Amino acid sequence: MLEAINLSRTFTSDKVDYEVLKAVNLEIKQGECVAIMGKSGSGKSTLMHLLACLDEPTSGSVVFEGSDFTTLSEGQKNRLRNEKFGFVFQQFFLNGRETVFENVALPMRIRGASGKRLNENSMESLQAVGLDDKAKKSAKDLSGGEKQRVCIARALVGKPQVIFADEPTGNLDSKTGETVENLLLQMNKDLGITLIIVTHDEDLANKCERIIEIKDGRIISGN
């Protein structure tokens, strides 16, 4: 379903090229739960950005459900990320001035969904993470674990096929981290959403069906 073909990414800074990804080939199937593991600087985040259509490769391509990202227009890419993908970030990126509900509803607002659809989906995904009673609360008044659950609700709201989670437990203590992990894995099992977790946490990686280990821009195992 999601395939990387000869994927390379080079960053240039001060006229020096850094090849962060080196001709990576990878295929992820529908409904899989994949952990991308590696040390910092290994290129795992860059790989995720490329797979999530947030960045453009220097060479090679990413194909999602038969469509090559390099052939898509800016608008098509935006729609793809909005409709097919969900994102969970380490630093949450919640808007503390808005309510929990508004934070969750953001992808639906960007999509331009009708008021009814927007309400239903948002409340539904808040229910899924068990925070429907805090919908009216301001996002800044939540605990860290609750914040990350709101982020999961936000990732779920558009009914995506793939959820990308970038160090989802990196900012949480082990106990709340586990709740968040379980929640993500449950979404994968119950809803069949493909889950791609970028992490350097071995415990979390071990809970996934498949671990792709990456080092110095190359996949060293799991392919």
Partner 1 sequence: MKIWDLIRIANRNLLRSKLRTFLTVMAIFVGSFTLTLTNGIGDGLRDYVETQVKNIEGDSALFVRKKFPREDEQNARIGEPEEYKEIKEDEQGNRIDPNSIVVSLDQINSLAKEFPEVKKATPAYRMRAEYIALADSDKKFKVSLGMLSEGLKQKLEAGKMFDGKNQIILPLYLAEGFDEKVENLVGKTAKIGYKTEESDEIQIKELKIAGVATKGMISNLNAFVDAETAKGLYTAQRGESRDYNRFTNFTFLLNSSDEKTMEKVKNKLEEKGFTAMSYADIEKRTYDGIGILQTGLNLFALIALLAASFGIINTLIIAVMERTKDIGLQKALGMGRGKIFMLFSMESILIGFWGALLGIVIGIACGLVANAYLASTYLESFEGYNLFVFTPLSIIFIMLLVCTVAFLAGVMPAFRASRLNPIEALRYE
User: By the criterion CB under 8 A, which residues form the site for partner 1?
Assistant: 49, 54-55, 74-75, 78-83, 87, 89, 91, 93, 95, 97-98, 106-107, 109-112
Q: Closest CB to partner 1 among 87 and 172?
A: 87
Estimate to the nearest angstrom the gap between the alpha carbon of 112 and the chain centroid.
21
Which of 185, 184, 128 has its CA nearest to residue 157? 128
CA angle 193, 118, 49 (to 5 degrees): 45
Q: Closest CB to partner 1 among 77 and 200?
A: 77
Closest separation in Å from C-beta 219 to partner 1: 21
Please list the residues that pair with 35 across neighbouring strands: 197, 211
Q: Closest CB to partner 1 among 85 and 177?
A: 85
Closest separation in Å from C-beta 132 to partner 1: 21
Closest separation in Å from C-beta 94 to partner 1: 9
Closest separation in Å from C-beta 47 to partner 1: 13
Q: Closest CB to partner 1 among 73 and 190?
A: 73
Name residue, tokens 């990126």: 93
Name residue, tokens 């060293």: 220
Between the alpha carbon of residue 151 and those of residues 51, 89, 143, 202, 217, the distances in Å are: 20, 8, 12, 22, 29
